[in-house]
Every structure is written in C-alpha cells, then in structure tokens.
Chain A
Amino acid sequence: MKSLKSYNPLSVSVCFLSVILISMFSLNPIIIMLSFTGGLILYCSTPYCKSKKIHISVFIIIAGCTILNPIFSHNGKTPLLFINNNAVTAEALVYGLFMGIMVAGALYWFAVYSEIMTADKVVYSVGRFFPKSALMLTLALRFIPVYIKKSKEAIAVQKTLGTFKTDSIVYKVKSVMRVFSVMISYMIENTIITSDSMAARGYGGGKRSRYRIFSFDTADCALTAVTAVIGGIYIAVSAFGFLDYSFYPSMKLPGFETAAVAAYSGYFILCLIPTIIEAGDKLKWRLLKSKISPSHTPVAQKQ
C-alpha cells in the first residue's frame, strides 16, 4: 500500500474525476448522498486537509441551496406555503437540499484532489496529452514567482526614488503603471537570456521526448482498472434507465432493482477506495513501526 500522493497523478485523476462527474451528472439522491459521505469520510481521514473551515462553507452551501431553490423554482405538487402568491413546494425544497449536498460533496472531493495534485502533477497530466502546452505551463510556473519577486523590488526602489506614491488614486494608478512598464522592459530583456538558454540546450531542434517523473505501476493499473469497471457498470445501468430520478412533479423513492443496487454499491466502493488506500498506508506504517526496534536496525548491529 502506498499513499494517494505517491500514486500516478493520472490514475488518481481518473478515480477522483469519475466520482465527481458521476455525482454531478446524476440527479439520483442516493448517488448524491454516497458521493457526499465518501467525500466527507475521505476529507476527515486524510492527513493532508487540516482546515475545519470547509465544514462551515459546506453548511452554508447546503442551507443556501435549500432556501434559495424554492424561492426561484415553483415546480412540484406539494405546496408548503405561499409567498406573494407563489407556492413554496416540498419538491423544490428537497431538490435544493440535494443540489446543495451534491455541490458540498464535490467540494470535499476537490479539496482533497487539489492537495494531492501539486503543480508538477498537473503539468505531468497535461503533458501526457498536450506536451507543448505542458512545457508552456512549466515556463509560466517558473516565471511567475520570479516576476512577482522582482515587481516587489521594483516597487520598493520606485518608492525610494519618490516616484511611487499612493496618496491618491491618480498617483496610485500612475505609479503602478510605472512599475508595470519597468517590469515589461525587464521581462523582455531577460526572456532573451532564457531563450538562449533553451537554444543552447537543443530546444527547437526536432522531436522532443518527455521525462516522466511519475511511474505507472501495478497499484496504478489496479486503481484505474477498478475505476473503469465500476464506471462501466454505472454507465450501463444508467443507460437502461434504472438510475433515473426526478424530483418534479412529485417525489418518489429511487429505484431499487438489482441492477440499481449493484450500481449503488459499486459507486460507494469507488467513493471509499481513496479512503481505503490512505488507511492501508497508515496501517502499514503502524505495523512497520512496531517491528522497527533499535536492536533490529542494521546500524546498531554493525556497531
């Protein structure tokens, strides 16, 4: 078992994006709940996400959607009350609630996903399909921090020259334009050095290869395969209409045919896979730690 961070970004992306996309395109309340539950469990159990603030946003989103949807949508058969002669229906209320849960669930998933997908992993994934764009992205990722740092320096210098004034909005705009113009010359001049450096290392000569810093191993194959199988089942079941659901005009229970139950359980397993991977990794280390005692370390033996 290895942690999600050491999986190949492609296999992780396939898994996460499948979960998120399925929940986003499904109106089925069970799928939405499963995605939300899976996301919540993953978020709370992974070591990457420490911030508790996200739960507040989640609450606001769910509450907001639940309240706002009935105000704008008056579909549905069961009026609860009338405001300005417009019906507030139970269907619209529940629809809003589930939409909120769907967005909130996606938020948890994306929060963990963005922790795992660092910039270089994004570049790697993009480069798999668009090598040229990925290279541009790499250049930009280097260039931006350098440029920001230099701009700060330029502002400091212009301040001491007395040409960076923030007394009024007119001065401020003028001063910022000034620094901007300084930075443009700086950028143009120095890009020549960068392009020389690229040319000196053979860029533009012909076919390029791409160094892959992330390997695609058995675990990645397994993750991708499981995702593909479950996704395939979901799509098949959904194509036959077993998972169709509509809140309007009136709510009913979602389908519970064998095929639907298979799709639900499959999707739930998919939602739990990232958590299982992480838990497995943690467990492995706990087991290893109990084995590593001072007398067993090779260094201790040598001495």
Chain B
Amino acid sequence: MALIEIKNLSFSYPGCSETIKNINLSVEQGDFVALFGPTGSGKTTLLRLLKPELSPLGETEGSILFGGKEIKELSQAESSAIGFVQQSTEHQTVTDKVWHEIAFGMENLNYSQGLMSRRMAEVSAYFGIDGIFESKTSEISGGQKQLVALASIAALDPEVIILDEPTSQLDPISANEFLNALKKLNSESGVTIIISEHRLENVIPLCSKICAIDGGEIKAYGPVRETAEKLLKDSKMLPYLPGSARLYSLLGGEGPCPLSVTEGRTYLKKNTLPLFTEEKASDDKAEKEPAVEFKKVYFRYDKDSDDVLRGTDITAYKNEILCILGANGSGKTTMLCCAAGLLTPYSGKIRLFGKDIKKYKNSELYGGVISYLPQNPEILFMKNTLREEMEESGIDFKDIPFDLSYAADIHPYDLSGGERQMAAIAKVMASKPEILLLDEPTKGLDPKAKRDICEVLKKLKEDGITIIAVTHDVEFAALCADRAAMFFRGAVTCTDKPREFFSENIYYTTSISKITRDYAEGIITDNDLAKYIKPEDRSR
C-alpha cells in the first residue's frame, strides 16, 4: 500500500476556478519526489493539502489517504509524521535560539525532557549544526536557518517531509548542502521526501520520481528518466530539466536521456557532436564611457570589524549589463549599496559619470541618476493594490516595458515572484535613472520569469540604461550580461565577456558549458547551443 494515495483530488479557493484538477498520485514509502512546474501551477496548494494543519480553505473533492487513513481525520500525533518546510528562511523561524527552534515542535507534542535531549543531540550531530546550537536565530545564515528548520522537523521522527521550494532563497552552495542533508535523511533513514523546486539540475540526481504539474494538472509522473524523456517534447517543461537533458533534446535524442553533467559528457563522447568551434567575435575597440567607477574602494561596517570591501576596482560602462557573481559574504551587496550612495567607503573613490558620488546631492542622485532594487522587493510596496502603487509613483501601465495591467487590482504581496520583481523594477525606474542597481533579481523565480526579467533588462539597456546586477545565478548571467565579474573577498578578481568568463571558469559556470567545454568552445547557454547545431543535424 502506498504511503500517500491521492485519488481524484480537485480543489478550488472560494470564488475561484479549480486550482487543482482531478489529480491522482501515489507516493511509496522511501520515495524522493520532485514536483516542478510554472509559478501558479498549483504546486504549493497541492503540497499544503497534504499537511492537515496547513490545508488551504476552499472546496476539496476526492480524497487523500496517508497510511490508508483519510488525512483530515489524523490525530495531532499522527499528523506529526508529516513534516512541512516552507520557502521563507526568515519567517518560518519561530524562536530566538537555535536549540529552542529545534525543541519547539517536540515541546508542542509534549515530549519528555529526556526524549527531547536525546533527539536534539541526535539531529544536531546528524545535520552538523551543533556548532550553532546556542546561537541566536537572527545571527545565522539563510542556509543554516533552513537546516535548522529541517532538523526541528526531523526531531519529530516524521515518515514524510514535504518541502515547498526550500532552496529558492539560498545561494547555490547552501542549496546543495541542504539537498545533501535531505538525501541523507532519505537514503539513511528511509524518510519519504516530497519537494517542489524550480531548478532540477541538482535535485534530479537525488530523486526517485519526478512530477511535472501545470495548470493544476499532472503532466507526467513516474521514475526520473522515463518521465524526463516524456517531457522533452513539452516546450513549456523543457526549461525545467537539467542542461544535459536540454542538450539531448536539441540533438534529437538517441538512447537514454542524460540527466547530469557527467552523463551529458558521456553522451557527447558517444555521439560525435555536430558542433563547430566558433570564430571569436572581434573585440569592439570603441571608446566606452564609464558610468560607475570604483577606484580602490575600502569599506567596513564597524571601526573594529574586518574590511568588507578591500580595494574594489571596477568600472561599469554606459549602456551595458554588468553581472557580478560571487559567494555569500564576499561583499557583493555591500558594493552595490556603496554604488547607490547608501554606504560611504572610508577610503577610495566612487565616480558616477566621472563625477564623485559625494558631490551629488541626494535629490539629484535619486532623482534621475541611480536606482537601487534590493533583494526581496516587497519592502518597496505599501499600497493595497498594484494600481495604487503605480499611481503613487506616477507610472502608467502603458509606459513600462512589460504588461502588468492584468494584475492591477492584486495586492502587491499576492503577485507571483516574477510579477513582483517586474513591478519593483517599474517602481524604481519611475525616477528615470541612468543607472539601475539590482540585487539578486532572479532569486526564487521560475525559468520563465527569469527569461522575462532578462528580456526586460535587455530592453532597458537598449533605452540607454546601465545595469549592474549582483547575482548567484550563473545561467541568468550567461544569458543577459554584457560583462561578468567575479567578486572574491571584497575585490573583483576578473572581469570578462560572459562567453570568455564562463568558458574559462571550471566550476563557477553553467551546466551547458561544463558539458560542452571539451567539444566546442564558448557554448554557455541554450541559445548558443541552438545556434551551433545545424538544422539538418538537429533532425537526426
């Protein structure tokens, strides 16, 4: 008997059309299932229906059985066998100390002191968080917070853990660490995992099954490779699959579909590649006018703390998109805040269009020179609907380079991640700045929203705007940057055009580049790939 059995499940929010349409799904004990699909496809709703305490209000038809029992009828103790991890690292933390966060669930279920001590020792050691056991939850990193959230649920001895985009707020390194912890739980302790994710690159190697969902319906569900092969023809789902699968699909696909970088490389070795080595594009030597210049900039937050920026030297030229990549805590965001005039370095010069930033008056600086969009743009919004928000900034829906008018009457917090980012960009662009600074513009977005953002940035660039974006997202940088820079320990280590940048990087690069690097030069994105494969080869 399956652990979770969903039969003819339909669900609709009050006054809305069906969000979930007649879903049938069964998950076996020990499965590792990845759920993916566009934003708004009903992933979160489906996952929440599986946890009685979080079931959304609305009309439900059909049934969900957990261990043969209707899920609505589970007792509190039985329901604790279903763990749930949410997306927001910050707000799903409840208490002020890490140890208390881990104990919280056990306290709620009235565990004895002895049992709690034992479980806490176990999970802290298991997830490697004993070092932060007595830390404050406000002082640990996002990755650590998410591990603590997982540990606090693991302490309740769950049979299944449901995770709703748990890594979308994390940088790639922490995301991988988190996924490895999940894998460990799954393979060593037999905990069933159901996870929703936008990017399957790193999740697929861990999965036993994948499930594609769109418009509230299941497009495909089953063992990984089989299901992935089914989805290759679906242009809407293809972008979610790993780079190797996309490459396989472009080449026409013979034999089993490769799903990891290693498999992709083996596949290319077996199938002689119809790829060309591209002649290098000639460098345009034209004099470019600098927009933002950093000259030996040093910054620290406190007199006694370490330097965050250590002699940062970088120039963003007028009318280009500069992407800055780098690890967490390397000082990228600090650099952006310095460029926005929000922080003042203690040494070095920052010039905007040749003029020292200190010589700008605030009204001048923020009234048409520079705009800054932080991570998690919700703190920009204060009105009840997007329309009011836009009116407040004096923006007409017609003037912005993308259509948002369909969402005009929605509360800004209810917009999807992509729409919210678009609205935020529109809002900061209202002052008609010449420089736009973006912090992690693609965080937590699905592939389509990412591509949309990319298009918008390119359009803005055509209008003569200089864009500096700080990002972890190599695929995004490869797609839209004119130049990419690597930030390390408070300074820029290299700046290059994305093609050179990503083909010369070995680890910090796109999966497509990792797969193709031995066979062809300079292929870093799907677009490159499509370009270099002759149409007749594609049909093979």
Quick one: which of B88, B108, B374, B428 contacts A203, CB cutoff 8 A?
A: B108
The segment from A185-193, A281-289, A295-303 that touches chain B is A185-193
- Please give, as numbers and ranges, the residues of chain A lying within 8 Å of B90 by CB-CB distance: 146, 190
List of A residues within 8 angstroms of B80 by Cβ: 201-202
Tell me, yes or no, whether B409 is within 8 Å of chain A by CB.
no
| Closest partner residue, chain B, to A210 (CB atom) | B107
Report the separation of the CA atoms of residues A204 and B117 in the bound assembly, to the nearest whole angstrom.
Answer: 22
Task: A138 to B103: give the CA distance in the assembly, Å.
Answer: 13
Asked if A206 is an interface residue, CB under 8 A from chain B, the answer is: yes
Q: Give the chain B neighbours of A201 by CB distance below 8 A.
A: 80, 94, 104-105, 108, 152-153, 156
Number of A-B contacts (CB under 8 A): 159
Whether a CB of chain A sits under 8 angstroms from the CB of B84 is yes
Q: Which of B248-256, B270-278, B375-383, B397-405 lies at the binding interface?
A: B375-383
**Pair B91/A194 contact, Cβ less than 8 Å:** yes
B391: CB under 8 A from chain A?
no
**Minimum CB–CB distance for B376 against chain A, Å:** 9
How far is the CB of B359 from the nearest CB of chain A, in Å?
18
Query: Which B residues lie within 8 Å of A202 (CB)?
Result: 53, 76, 79-80, 105, 108-109, 156
User: How distant is A208 from chain B, measured CB to nearest CB, in Å?
Assistant: 5
Q: In this assembly, does B92 line the interface, its C-beta being within 8 Å of a C-beta of chain A?
A: yes
- Verify if B340 is at the interface (C-beta below 8 Å from A): yes
Is the Cβ of A190 less than 8 Å from the Cβ of B91?
Answer: yes
8 Å CB contact of B372 from A142, A160, A205, A212: A160
Residue A161 CB within 8 A of the other chain: yes
A225 at the interface (CB under 8 A from B): no
Contact with B along A194-221 (1 / 0, CB 8 A): 1011111111111111111100000000
Asked whether B366 lies within 8 Å of A162 as measured between CB atoms, the reply is: yes
Contact call A159/B99, Cβ cutoff below 8 A:
no
- Flag if B51 contacts A200 (CB, 8 Å): yes
Could you say which residues of chain B place their CB within 8 Å of the CB of A189?
Answer: 378, 413
Whether B337 lies near A145 (C-beta < 8 A) is no
Q: In this assembly, does B354 line the interface, its C-beta being within 8 Å of a C-beta of chain A?
A: no
Contact B381 A185 (CB under 8 A): yes
The reply on A120 being an interface residue by CB < 8 A is yes
The digit string for B99-119, where 1 denotes a CB below 8 A from any CB of A, is 110011111111111001100
Judge whether A211 and B103 touch: CB under 8 Å: yes
Q: Is the CB of B95 within 8 A of A185?
A: no
Assembled-state Cα–Cα distance A194/B149 (Å)? 12
The yes or no answer to B458 lying at the interface (CB within 8 A) is no
Q: Quick one: closest A residue to B337, CB to CB?
A: A156
Is B379's CB under 8 angstroms from A182's CB?
yes
Confirm or deny: B54 has a beta carbon within 8 angstroms of a beta carbon on chain A.
Answer: yes
Q: A148's closest neighbor in chain B, by CB? A: B138
Interface residue? A63 (CB, 8 A): no
Count of chain B residues with a beta carbon within 8 Å of a chain A beta carbon: 64
A190 to B413, CA, bound (A): 10
B491 to chain A, nearest CB (A): 23
B53 to A211, Cβ gap below 8 A? no
A156 contacts across to B, CB distance below 8 A: 337, 340, 342, 372, 374
Q: Is A273 on the interface with B (CB-CB < 8 A)?
A: no
Closest to B75 in A: A205
| A6 CB within 8 Å of chain B | no
Inter-chain contact A185/B382, CB cutoff 8 Å: yes
Report the bound CA distance from A182 to B427 in whole Å. 15
Closest to B97 in A: A120
Residue among B97, B112, B381 with max Cβ neighbours from chain A (10 Å): B97
Pick the contact of B378 from A138, A186, A199, A209 — CB < 8 Å?
A186
B372→A157 contact, CB < 8 A: yes
Residues of B within 8 A of A142 (CB): 93-96, 136-138
Q: Is the CB of A190 within 8 A of B116?
A: no
Q: Closest Cβ of chain A: how far from B524's Cβ, in Å? A: 33
Closest A residue by C-beta to B95: A138
Most B Cβ at <10 Å: residue of A138, A181, A182, A209 = A209
On chain A, the residues within 8 Å of B92 by CB distance are 193-194, 196-197
Shortest CB distance A180–B (Å): 10
Contact flag A211-B431 (CB < 8 Å), given A120-B97, A160-B342? no
* B108: contacting residue among A149, A159, A196, A205, CB under 8 A: A205
- Decide if B380 touches A161 in the complex (CB within 8 Å): yes
Interface membership of A150, Cβ < 8 A: yes
A residues 108-156 near B (Cβ < 8 Å) are 119-120, 123, 138-139, 141-142, 145-146, 149-150, 153-154, 156
A167 to B5, CA, bound (A): 63
Task: Give the shortest distance, in Å, between A33 (CB) and chain B (any CB).
Answer: 39
Q: Which residues of A sit under 8 angstroms from B430, Cβ to Cβ?
A: 161
Chain B CB within 8 A of A74 CB: no
Query: Residue A157 contacts which of B53, B370, B379 (CB distance < 8 angstroms)?
Result: B379
Which residue of chain B has the shortest Cβ distance to A166 in the bound complex? B362
CB distance A194 to B94 under 8 Å? Answer: yes
B174-209 with Cβ < 8 A to chain A = none
The residue in chain B whose Cβ has the minimal distance to the Cβ of A160 is B372
Chain B residues within 8 Å of A150, by CB: 379
In the bound assembly, the distance between CA atoms of A272 and B443 in angstroms comes to: 58
Q: What residues of A have a CB within 8 angstroms of the CB of B367 in the complex?
A: 162
Is there contact, CB below 8 Å, between A208 and B96? no
A178 within 8 A of B: yes
Per the bound structure, the CA–CA distance linking A208 and B116 in Å amounts to 13
Q: Are A209 and B111 neighbours in the complex by a CB distance under 8 Å?
A: yes
Does A161 lie within 8 Å of B428, measured CB to CB?
yes
CB contact between B53 and one of A185, A199, A206, A208 (< 8 Å): that residue: A199
Contact of A206 among B99, B110, B380 (CB under 8 A): B110
A120-B96, A189-B378, A208-B108 known, 16 other contacts, Cβ within 8 Å: A138-B96, A159-B366, A161-B393, A181-B382, A182-B380, A182-B382, A183-B379, A193-B86, A194-B93, A202-B53, A202-B108, A202-B156, A209-B116, A211-B100, A211-B113, A211-B116
B residues with CB within 8 A of A: 51, 53-54, 76, 79-80, 83-84, 86, 88, 90-97, 99-100, 103-113, 116-117, 120, 136-138, 149, 152-153, 156, 337, 340-342, 362-363, 366-367, 370-372, 374, 378-382, 393, 413, 427-428, 430-431
A-B contacts, 19 of them at CB < 8 A, read A120-B97, A138-B95, A142-B96, A153-B379, A156-B337, A156-B372, A160-B366, A160-B372, A161-B366, A189-B378, A197-B93, A201-B104, A203-B104, A204-B108, A205-B109, A206-B110, A211-B100, A211-B113, A211-B116
